[in-house]
Amino acid sequence: MTANTQEKTPLTLLGLGAMGTALARTWLAAGHPLTVWNRTPGRAAGLVGEGAKPAGGAPEAVAASTLVVVCLLDDASVGEALADADLAGKDLVNLTTTTPAQARARAEWARGRGARYLDGGIMAVPPMIGVPEAGGYVFYSGDTELFEEHRETLAVPAGTTYVGEDAGHAALHDVALLSAMYGMVAGATHAFALIRKEDIDPVAFAPLLVDWITAMAGPSVTGTARKLASGDYTRDVVSNLAMQVAGVPTFVTTAEEQGVSPELLSPYFELMRRRLALGSGEEDLTGLVDLLARGE
Ligand code: NDP
């Protein structure tokens, strides 16, 4: 790769854990002058060999560049690491996973110390960083101008998806997508448990499960989104709630027959019954969103 360090934005990276190290390597490979700091000093050694400049402390690292990227364990470690740093005039990009409220509070905190602030939620694991075809990307939210000015530099490790001025929205998108993933994995866990004691090869079963989840995911997610947007939960309903609730005993009894606990699915079935009791039998499952969000 051609690396003309004269033209590339210099930056500082705080945090050389698994993710920080992966990020650092991509900026170095792309020719960005990079200052690094890690609480435990030994972790910078490999990167220094690749051209990174080690800083003796976090304040020194922050002072080295206008653009400061932070990728630490959690919000508390960000506060701790930056406690004595002068943030005036800095562009702080926080890629540490936090809650939306923590991100908003951190944005206020940074602004109060004279910095522009952008929050990020990384939708990738370290091996996907610097590998565009792996499809990883980072949600960004917060200061639009900061994002626009540093867009090219931020796009070096992974794709960028800006989701608005609210500093909490990157974290919210991140957690929302991961929450959906856990729901999906929970469903697969239950399915594998059902076949566990039978003469069914889990490896042969897997592609059937993947194909089914894949086929259902698109129509279900986009259908729910359209109904939420229109407010009409009865339009274009393929499988209505009354029919689906009638099928619940089959799922519960099959779990019993197979000696499998229904504990992963029971809360969802309970929500379906509660929504049906409100007279929503002609809807699909969209109304469950309101049950959860409003606690009806
Ligand atoms: P690691 O556990 O590998 O590294 C944690 C980093 O935080 C280390 O640099 C550690 O320093 C530092 N740290 C912890 N506590 C403090 C503290 N009090 N003060 C200063 N530094 C501290 O985590 P990752 O690199 O994997 O993750 C970093 C962030 O990236 C996390 O928020 C994570 O959620 C997010 N992320 C990670 C993904 C992954 O798959 N790894 C995927 C998506 C997001 P030290 O070396 O001294 O312990």
Taking CA atoms, 96 is separated from 156, 232, 286, in Å, by 17, 38, 32
Ligand 1 pocket residue status of 126, Cβ below 6 Å: yes
Residue 296 pLDDT class (50, 70, 90 cuts): low
Amino acid at 207: P
Q: Is 73 in the pocket of ligand 1 (CB under 6 A)?
A: yes
Identify the DSSP state of 71.
-
Q: Which of 82, 108, 115 is nearest to 15 (CA)?
A: 82
What is the arithmetic mean of pLDDT over 255-275?
Answer: 97
pTM of the model: 0.93
What does R_g of the chain's alpha carbons equal in angstroms? 24
Partners of 11 in the β-ladder: 34, 67
Per-residue confidence (pLDDT) for residue 6, from 0 to 100: 60
> CA 169 to CA 181: how far, in whole Å?
18
Residue 272 vs residues 142, 144, 188, 211: alpha-carbon distances, Å: 37, 41, 20, 25
| Angle in degrees, 0-180, between the axes of helices 266-277 and 248-257, rounded to the nearest 10 | 160
Looking at ligand 1, which atom is closest to the CA of residue 73? 7
The mean of the pLDDT values for the chain is 96
Which amino acid residue places its CA nearest to atom 33 of ligand 1?
A: 97
pLDDT of 4 above 70: no
The ranges of the chain annotated as CATH 1.10.1040.10 are 196-294
Do the beta carbons of residue 13 and residue 20 sit within 8 Å? yes
Q: Find residue 54's DSSP bridge partners.
A: 36
Tokens representing 284 are: 């699909």
CATH number of 196-294: 1.10.1040.10
> 13, 19, 70, 77: which to mutate for ligand 1, most atoms within 8 A of CB?
19
The whole-number pLDDT of residue 7 equals 85
For 275, the token pair is 């929504």
The first and second tokens of residue 164, run together, are 């608005």
Separation in Å, CA 220 to CA 171, 193, 236: 24, 24, 12
Strand partners, 53: 35
pLDDT at 1: 43
Rounded to the nearest angstrom, the distance between the alpha carbon of 125 and the centre of ligand 1 is 12
* Ligand 1, atom 41: closest residue by C-alpha: 19
Percent of the chain with pLDDT over 90: 96
CA–CA distance, 97 with 74 (Å, rounded to integer): 6
Q: Residues of 102-140 as b/e, b for ≥16 C-beta within 10 angstroms?
A: bbbbbbebbbeeebbbbbbbbbbebebbbeeeeebbbbb
Structural fold of domain 3-165:
Rossmann fold (3.40.50)
List every span in the chain annotated with CATH 3.40.50.720.
3-165
**Digit-coded pLDDT (tens) for 81-129:** 999 999 999 999 999 999 999 999 999 999 999 999 999 999 999 999 9
